[in-house]
Every structure is written in structure tokens, then in C-alpha cells.
Amino acid sequence: MAHIPGLKVVQPATPYDAKGLLKAAVDDDNPVIFYEHKLLYKTKGPVPEEPYAIPLGQADIKREGTDITVIATSIMVHRALEAAETLSREGISVEVLDPRTLVPLDEESIVQSVKKTGRVLIVHEAVKRGGFGGEIAGVIAESEAFDYLDAPIRRLGGAAVPIPYNPVLERAAVPQVEDIVQAVRELVHKRF
């Protein structure tokens, strides 16, 4: 849906973001596509009772870091945070950036984070080929952040297969925490 002109696209990862972005989507005069990941329905987190809105097009740094930026959406934000925690025990500092909205995309936050860390891994659940990670990679490649890269831009997406019903096969078809950990390890030791 992100490629359709005139549509705004939202992908919250936390209960707080879901409420705030839903309020902003309802208040927006434009059509907004609001994606909810079914595996996030049981996610717990603080949500104020009073009304609030999170502006569409405002990314959120879910974890500060200095060695690499992991840009993740929806459920992949939680997996990236878990991977970042694992990697911190190895001395690797991971910044996790959640765009929260794909359209409008907060390009400035992405550029600033990548300039700070010099490395980037883009993670999404959708198949890598044709996935939104390619758009984010394009934003980075066409920006001043490109000159700050110490390693190639890397995307980690789902396998080019239909999502299987079997849980074991489904797990193999989409990025897991250990896949993110491995990709980050490879990137932090890689140079152009």
C-alpha cells in the first residue's frame, strides 16, 4: 500500500504507539492504512488513559546505540530489541529505529541515525524482494548518510516463499532474533 499515491501507511509496534497513531490516523483528513500485526495483540505496555496522538511521519528511537542502526517495523522491532540486548553482552551497541509510519516516512531520523552509527541493517517480515526495506535502503543511498557508511547497507527480510501453516516452517520463513544477531555480527566486522 505504501506505493499508492495519496495513502498514508502506519505500522505500530507497541501499545503506546498503536493508540497514539490510531488517534492521528482518525484525525487525518487523508486515507490512512493502519496495519496491526496479529502476533502483537498480546503485547503489554504503558498506555495513558487520556487521549494523545503521535504525529504521522515521526520515527522513534526505541534503543540508543553507536555501532549499528537496525531499522525495523512492526513485530521486527521487538525482535531487534531482543537482538540488541543479546549483542550488548558482546560489546556491540545497537540503535533500534522504528519508523512507525511508512508513509510519510521520517527520512531525516533515518539519515541522522545512519550518520551516527555508520552501519545499517533493515529488517522486515515481508519477503525481501520488493519489500519496503528496499525503499529505506534507497533513502539512505540517495542521502548524505551514504558518505558516512563504513559497510554496505544490508536488508533482512522474509524468504521468497508463501508463509507456511506449520509453525516450524513459518519460523524459518521470517527473520528471527538469531537471524538479526547474526546479520549484525557480520556487519559490524565488515568494511567496504
Grid coordinates in use for 120? 545499517
| DSSP SS3 for 126 | strand
DSSP letter (8 states) at residue 106: -
pLDDT tens-digit profile of 90-129?
999 999 999 999 999 999 999 999 999 999 999 999 999 9
Give residue 58's identity as a one-letter amino acid code.
Q
pLDDT, averaged across the chain: 96
- Give residue 84's pLDDT: 98
What tens digit of pLDDT does each residue of 161-189 get?
998 999 999 999 999 999 999 999 999 99
Closest C-alpha to 6, from 43, 27, 32, 45? 32
CA 133 centroid distance within chain? 9
Stronger pLDDT, 154 or 192, i.e. the higher one: 154
| Phi, psi dihedral angles at 19 (to 5 degrees) | -65, -50
Quick one: pLDDT band at residue 13, thresholds 50, 70, 90? very high
How many helices and strands, by DSSP H and E, does the chain display? 6, 8
Query: Is the separation of the CB atoms in 75 and 87 below 8 Å?
Result: no
| 192 pLDDT higher than 90 | no
Residue of 75, 49, 80, 51 lying closest to 63 (CA atoms): 80
CA dist 116 → 20, 41, 60, 143, 148 (Å): 28, 33, 15, 14, 8
Tens digit of pLDDT for each residue in 59-68?
Answer: 999 999 999 9
pLDDT at 191: 82
Q: How many CB atoms lie within 10 A of CB 56?
A: 20
Contacts of 81 by beta carbon, 8 Å cutoff, 6+ apart:
62, 63, 96
Q: Which domains does the chain have, with CATH numbers?
A: 60-188 (3.40.50.920)
What's the pTM? Answer: 0.95
Which residues have C-beta within 8 Å of that of residue 21, sequence separation ≥ 6? Answer: 10, 12, 34, 53, 54, 56, 100, 101
pLDDT tier at 190, thresholds 50, 70, 90? confident
